[in-house]
Amino acid sequence: MLRTLRRPRNVALLATTTAGVAVTYSFLSSSSNAAAVTRESKNGAKRYSPPTPWTPPSRKDMLERLKLSNRNKDEEFDLLVIGGGATGAGVALDAASRGLKVALVEQNDFSSGTSSKSTKLVHGGVRYLQKAIFELDYEQYKLVREALHERKIFLHTAPYLSIMQPIMLPVYKWWQLPYYYAGCKMYDILAGHQNISASYLMSHSKAIEAFPMLQERGLVGAVVYYDGMHNDARMNLALIMTAVKHGAAVANYVEVTKLLKTNQSLTTLDGSSNKESQSDGKLYGAKVKDKLTGEEWEVHAKGIINATGPFTDSLLSLDNPSHKPIVQASAGVHITFPNYYSPRNMGLLDPATSDGRVIFFLPWQGNTIAGTTDSPAPVRRDPRPHEEDIQWILEEVKRYLSPDIQVRRGDVLSAWAGLRPLVSNPNSTSTQALVRNHLIHVSPSGLVTIAGGKWTTY
């Protein structure tokens, strides 16, 4: 999605109140009227004219635009995007920047779900590359290659929301040193000319110097590689506001309650004409409800995109009551520690936890975040982290930190859980084995569903 935003842009940051739009947002602008210009005054001297300020429409104005599509045929939208997370915002921006008339609705606040509960990484995924090699999985390989390409675009497009992050892999066995180093170098090679920085080896003393909190006993050395980090919630809002700048009508706290379809007539063998059930018709819009006021109305559009993440199956069931679920939700739990748990400029990756998963230990917003878990979970509105998941992360963190640092439950400043909308595989026994690729499915009614995926490749 970010391929359309390669050129440098002027950045504007704004702050508003809640409910209507978002607490803090930013947008990227490439329009001609946003750029500063130099004009000539009467005496021939050049003077500087500041960029034209832009004030986004209010939520009331947005709702009026959505209602207008039902009253006036000329105001029908080309595309109605359902879901205001990373995928929905990206689709809306991509379509609006190409000149389409776009509407987007989100039943809660923008980025209030999975898109704000990530590990904050913009990465190809070293563990996915490992799976691709050892399991000869071409889909995993394609995912890593695409993600590494998108990572560079991410960092270039929004440098005020994303950074380059060095991540250390501590090594406690001599044979693992060349193994991890070769893996990181392969990661670099796969990125090609879009690699952000080369990985390198660290001696025992240099590793302790870079990460003083590290468990020193038995440490052989370390391998450091580079990935990206970003502010996921603000990036999501930046995509939303950029779509608005390009003319999209967006509204949060607007829920889709019904999909609108045409009724097609069938001619039977005896020549009589019957009506098909509405589930066999073509989509022409959706009935929506403002969750703040309770008001309901119809939004008409030529096409509808289902980008509802973990709730993909709920919307597919509205389209077809006999729909079989395609999303297998996976819970990812993260916890926040005080800043003394990690250095300010170095992250850490535990590549081999007790159950085969990986854990990232990263500096974030003046504190340290650790995660994530990866286990099947039911789909719910506000998932909560389970205590056993928090304890598991604490135990894994203890293994890699110095005994001088007492890892205590009381040090956990916060914890959150997010649901990954993974595309299900009937033959898979765990969510760890599921590929993080997007699935695009077009229903007979014309509903286009985008399921699965990850932030970097939204």
Residue 244 tokens read as 């608005």
The residues, ordered by sequence, that sit 6+ positions from 182 with a Cβ below 8 Å of its Cβ are: none
How far is the C-alpha of 141 from the C-alpha of 146, rounded, in Å?
A: 9
Phi, psi for residue 203 in degrees, rounded to 5 = -75, 170
Evaluate the omega torsion of the peptide bond into residue 372 and state whether it is cis, within 30 degrees of 0: yes
What pTM was computed for the model?
Answer: 0.82
How far is CA 421 from each of CA 85, 267, 328, 377, rounded to the nearest angstrom?
12, 41, 6, 10
- Which pLDDT belongs to residue 148? 85
Residues in the chain: 458
Residue 414 tokens read as 């916060």
Question: What mean pLDDT value characterizes the chain?
Answer: 82
Contact 38, 46 (CB under 8 A): yes
How far is CA 352 from each of CA 221, 323, 357, 396, rounded to the nearest angstrom?
16, 38, 6, 10
CA-based diameter of the chain, in Å?
Answer: 88
Among 21-25, 62-66, 159-163, 432-436, the range of highest mean pLDDT: 62-66
Q: Which long-range contacts (CB under 8 A, 24 or more apart) does 407-411 make?
A: 411/337, 411/338, 411/341
How far is the C-alpha of 259 from the C-alpha of 262, rounded, in Å?
A: 10
The predicted model gives 365-381 an average pLDDT of: 85
Strand partners, 330: 376, 420
Strand partners, 359: 350
pLDDT band at 6 (very low <50, low <70, confident <90, very high): very low
| Region for residue 285 given its phi and psi (left: phi exceeds 0; alpha: psi -120 to 50; beta: otherwise) | left
What is the number of other CB atoms lying within 10 angstroms of the CB of residue 47? 9
pLDDT band at 15 (very low <50, low <70, confident <90, very high): very low
Rg (CA), the chain: 25
How far is CA 133 from each of CA 123, 137, 144, 256, rounded to the nearest angstrom?
18, 7, 11, 43
Name the least confident of 10-14, 75-79, 419-423.
10-14
The predicted model gives 40-68 an average pLDDT of: 80
SS3 91: helix
The residues, ordered by sequence, that sit 6+ positions from 68 with a Cβ below 8 Å of its Cβ are: 75
Contact 146, 457 (CB under 8 A): yes
The conformation of residue 429, written as its DSSP 8-state character, comes to: S
What is the three-state SS of 235-257? HHHHHHHHHHHCCCEEEECEEEE
Contact 382, 395 (CB under 8 A): no
pLDDT above 50 (res 25): no
The predicted model gives 445-453 an average pLDDT of: 89
- Which pLDDT belongs to residue 46? 67
What are the helix (H) ranges across 168-266? Answer: 176-191, 204-210, 232-245
- Please give the single-letter amino acid code of residue 269: L
Chain-centroid distance of CA 93 in Å reads 14
pLDDT band at 70 (very low <50, low <70, confident <90, very high): confident
Can you count the helices (H) and strands (E) in the chain?
9, 24
Is the torsion defined by CA of 106, 239, 454, 2 positive or negative?
A: positive
How far is the C-alpha of 436 from the C-alpha of 230, rounded, in Å?
A: 19
The conformation of residue 401, written as its DSSP 8-state character, comes to: B
Strand partners, 105: 82, 251
Strand partners, 449: 306, 441
How far is the C-alpha of 114 from the C-alpha of 236, rounded, in Å?
A: 11
Chain-centroid distance of CA 285 in Å reads 26
| Region for residue 395 given its phi and psi (left: phi exceeds 0; alpha: psi -120 to 50; beta: otherwise) | alpha
pLDDT band at 7 (very low <50, low <70, confident <90, very high): very low
- Please give the single-letter amino acid code of residue 355: D
pLDDT band at 20 (very low <50, low <70, confident <90, very high): very low
Name the percent of the chain lying above pLDDT 90.
44
- Which pLDDT belongs to residue 205? 94
How far is the C-alpha of 253 from the C-alpha of 344, rounded, in Å?
A: 37
Q: What angle do CA 81, 437, 3 make, to 5 degrees?
A: 65
- Which single residue is written with the structure tokens 């690729």? 437
pLDDT band at 43 (very low <50, low <70, confident <90, very high): low
Provide, for the chain, the percentages of residues in helix, strand and coil under a 3-state DSSP scheme, each rounded to the nearest 5. Answer: 30, 30, 35
